[in-house]
Amino acid sequence: MASSQDDAEKPKTKRIFVNHVDQYQGKNVAKYLSRCVVGASLEEPEEEDDARSTSSSFVAAPKEGCYEVVGTVKNRETEKPDFCKEVIKFDNKDQLYEHLVECDIIVYDITEDPDQIDEAVWAVSELHSDLDKIEKPKMFILISTVMTWAKSKPLDPDDPEIPFTEDDYRRRKPHPNFKEHISAEKTVIKNGKTTKVRMTLTDKWKSMHEMEILNKSEYIQIHNKAKLVTYVVASGLTYGAEENIFHFLFKAAWHNAPHLLCFGNGENIIPTIHIKDLAAVIQNIADSRPKVRYLIAKDESNNKLDEIVKAVSQNLGTGKVKMISQEEALLSKDIEQSDFDQLLVNLRMDAVNVKENMRINWAAEAGLVECIQQIIKEYKDSRKLQPLRICVLGPPAVGKTTVTQQLCEFYKLHHIKIKDVIDEAMDNLGKDQSTNKIEDQYVIRFFKDKLHSMPCQNQGFIIDGFPKTSDQAKDMFVADGEDEPEEAAKDGSFDRAIMPEYVFNLEGNDEFLRHRVMNLPESVVHGTHNTEDGLMRRLEAYRSMNGDDETVLNYFDELEFHPHKLDVTKDESPMMKDTVEQMKKIIGAARNYGPTPEELEEMKRQEEEARLKKEQEEKQEKERREAEEAAVRKKRQEEWTTRLNEVKREEYELLETQSIPLRNYLMKHVMPTLTQGLIDCCKTRPDDPIDYLAEFLFQNNPQVD
């Protein structure tokens, strides 16, 4: 009995279909729903969920009874995401339909891929036509766009600030480029309202059994309506996670573009919604089957385009914005026509039903501008764009700058050198410091300002040879607001925004360093401290500052940032490549967008040149080996021919020598008799010369008595 009760209390899962789970919206909606317990939005949210929503763009790990997500992918090579129960691979629509009818809820997003509009319309139409065959109730949710409202006339021409609500959806007019979207919306709503009655009502039946027949008809209508319920969600422009339509702004700001571009006058109001909040709207619809079938999904904001651009620029970039005309904007390679149309939309909307009837644990209810810091954090986390912070220390002339330059180029980091920092700070102050020594407190202030700058906070940095002392390190990395650096260091507190993750100390003995400086070209040494006398002075100062327990390395060590000590005296590679590679292995992979298209093209060109060069070298090596082998074969052939001729000559001489006795015998005993026999044969001319000659030789054989 207890077992059956437990089964009754056990949450029941539902199978939900989401199209294109490898794209921004499909992926994030599907991921969110896969972690939602069926029916959870009908209950009061827990307090801890409120706190969690502010620190993460997604809810906690999945629990029992969550939605089972199946879906399609745009790129067929995509592997099945972890949050999906199954990825549907199909060759025709019949195969896809077999999977759709097994789902309780079908969600189609048509905002990203126009090709999905026809598929969504086909899917809802097929479900509607098969109502009599379908056993389990189906819910169809179409995620459309507010662009189907873009050309709607104001509710009150005298008061254009009155917002549109769901009640006005029949008055909506689409942007010219979004007519297919509104057509899909109408089809979905229509298929959710109309019914399919297979009974023929004749006049005779109607007169005899009017009440009975009408009851049957009403039953079939209600029954079929319950089998398919449809919803349209007009979504605002989505943001959050790795970003979607606003990504070009975030990317440009992160890459330290001089200014962000704002199209037109920037006064247009853009309806927006965080992608997690859009997913929460879908969750609420799936759980509660609301009576309203057309819903607007947007946050509370009415941000203008220029407000959004400025917020991104000020919190992620240089803070500068450049207004450009719509014609100039269309020439940009970073934005497509559909995105351009959406960014210029001007709509005041109010999501009444979402606000009043849905329980949403909002990720960004106040909108993108108000929640910009949280949105930027999500963006960096989702795209793994965390800054790399590195410090390279060591004695003078050990090669700090050499390795730092290469690491900065590889990881796309900012090279922070003390001279550059001071020069930049003094230029900003309008002062000349060429003849004045700057006190430590000002140098450290300059460094802190530089490391807190947006470029260093976005990509990261490598500090080249600073701080030089423990005191400088304590003052430099103490968190702002801490009164006593000494006490802060003891407590283990520090400024996490600028504290290096990796500390490298390049080590080399004085003799090695002196030898290195002595071998530098005169052009490099002239006008610098890298003379022998200058080096020895600097080395003496360095050793004196790092000879006791109060060293820079000890400072990092005590804070659990253990320095990596690298002996460079054994590195004989050009430009210290071996040391650089050793450091790369410790640091790991880069944390940026990777190579730009231009850099990829250059890398491809270099790889092609390297390949051709390698092929040429291999060809030349092959030809060289073949020539050497041919020369060896020729030499061996000549040697063999010479030896063969020598053998033939020796054999001939041997035969000649061996034939002398035989020739002498023949000349003495055989040839005279044979010659006489031939002469007689010629004289006699017998009928058988051979027989005659044989008889002659037999009779005249000198050996016969």
Whole-number pLDDT of residue 62: 55
Lowest mean pLDDT segment, chosen from 119-123, 271-275, 305-309, 491-495: 491-495
Mean pLDDT, range 434-452, rounded to an integer: 87
Please tell me the distance from the alpha carbon of residue 35 to that of residue 483, in angstroms, as a whole number.
Answer: 45
Q: Percent of the chain having pLDDT more than 90?
A: 66
Mean pLDDT, range 621-642, rounded to an integer: 93
pTM: 0.80
What residues contact residue 92 under an 8 Å CB cut-off, 6+ apart? none
Mean pLDDT, range 433-446, rounded to an integer: 82
In single-letter form, the type of residue at position 10 comes to: K
Whole-number pLDDT of residue 49: 45
Using alpha carbons, list the distances in angstroms from residue 687 to 678, 684, 690, 693, 696.
14, 9, 9, 11, 14
- pLDDT tens, position by position, 154-187: 999 889 899 999 999 999 999 999 999 999 999 9
Please tell me the distance from the alpha carbon of residue 144 to that of residue 150, in angstroms, as a whole number.
Answer: 13
Select the more confidently predicted residue: 483 or 464. Answer: 464
In single-letter form, the type of residue at position 647 comes to: V
Whole-number pLDDT of residue 178: 97
- pLDDT tens, position by position, 96-122: 999 999 999 999 999 999 999 999 999
Whole-number pLDDT of residue 227: 87
Decide: 423 and 417 in contact? Cβ < 8 Å.
no
Select the more confidently predicted residue: 545 or 524. Answer: 545
Whole-number pLDDT of residue 699: 84
Mean pLDDT, range 391-399, rounded to an integer: 95
Lowest mean pLDDT segment, chosen from 82-96, 203-217, 220-234, 609-623: 203-217
Whole-number pLDDT of residue 433: 59
Whole-number pLDDT of residue 211: 44
Whole-number pLDDT of residue 603: 83
Q: Percent of the chain having pLDDT more than 70?
A: 87
The residue written with tokens 């600073």 in the block is 466
Whole-number pLDDT of residue 58: 45
What residues contact residue 312 under an 8 Å CB cut-off, 6+ apart? 246, 249, 250, 253, 260, 372, 376
Lowest mean pLDDT segment, chosen from 181-185, 510-514, 593-597: 593-597
Using alpha carbons, list the distances in angstroms from residue 613 to 601, 602, 622.
18, 16, 14
Instruction: Tell me: cis bond preceding 689? Omega within 30 of 0 counts.
Output: no
pLDDT at 223 > cutoff 80: no
Mean pLDDT, range 7-27, rounded to an integer: 85
Q: Look up the CATH architecture of domain 386-587.
A: 3-Layer(aba) Sandwich (3.40)
Length of the chain: 705
pLDDT at 350 > cutoff 60: yes
Whole-number pLDDT of residue 135: 85
Whole-number pLDDT of residue 523: 60
The domains spanning 11-242+271-301+347-364 and 386-587 adopt the same CATH topology? yes
Calculate the average pLDDT of the chain.
87
SS3 566: strand
Highest mean predicted confidence (pLDDT) among 227-236, 528-537, 597-606:
227-236
Whole-number pLDDT of residue 48: 45
Whole-number pLDDT of residue 349: 96
What would the two tokens of residue 546 be?
């790092």
In single-letter form, the type of residue at position 92 comes to: N
For 374-397, give the DSSP string.
HHHHHHHHHTT-PPEEEEEE-STT
Whole-number pLDDT of residue 180: 97
Element (H or E) spanning 618, and its range?
A: helix 597-665
- pLDDT tens, position by position, 547-583: 767 899 999 999 999 999 999 999 999 999 999 999 9
pLDDT at 29 > cutoff 90: yes
Whole-number pLDDT of residue 197: 41
Decide: 251 and 287 in contact? Cβ < 8 Å.
no
The hierarchical CATH code for the domain 11-242+271-301+347-364 is 3.40.50.720
Domain coordinates of the chain in residue numbers?
Answer: 11-242+271-301+347-364, 386-587, 597-699
Select the more confidently predicted residue: 490 or 136. Answer: 136
Element (H or E) spanning 124, and its range?
A: helix 115-129
Over its C-alpha atoms, the chain yields an Rg (Å, rounded) of 45
pLDDT at 207 > cutoff 60: no
3-state helix, strand and coil shares in percent for the chain, rounded to the nearest 5: 55, 10, 35
pLDDT at 20 > cutoff 70: yes
Select the more confidently predicted residue: 219 or 342. Answer: 342
Contacts 24+ apart (CB under 8 A), 177-182: 177/147, 177/337, 177/338, 177/341, 178/145, 178/147, 178/148, 178/150, 178/341, 180/114, 180/117, 181/110, 181/117, 181/144, 181/145, 181/147, 181/148, 182/144, 182/148
The dihedrals phi and psi of 81, each to the nearest 5 degrees, come to -65, 155
Lowest mean pLDDT segment, chosen from 1-5, 309-313, 383-387: 1-5
Element (H or E) spanning 138, and its range?
A: strand 138-145
Please tell me the distance from the alpha carbon of residue 223 to that of residue 246, in angstroms, as a whole number.
Answer: 45
Which runs of consecutive H residues, i.e. helices, occur in 462-596?
A: 470-477, 485-491, 510-518, 522-525, 532-545, 552-558, 577-587
Please tell me the distance from the alpha carbon of residue 418 to that of residue 469, in angstroms, as a whole number.
Answer: 14
Please tell me the distance from the alpha carbon of residue 160 to that of residue 593, in angstroms, as a whole number.
Answer: 42
In the chain the first and final C-alpha atoms are separated, in Å, by 144
In single-letter form, the type of residue at position 11 comes to: P
Decide: 591 and 389 in contact? Cβ < 8 Å.
no
What residues contact residue 403 under an 8 Å CB cut-off, 6+ apart? 392, 506, 576, 579, 580, 583
pLDDT at 600 > cutoff 90: no
Decide: 312 and 260 in contact? Cβ < 8 Å.
yes
46 confidence band (pLDDT: 50, 70, 90): low
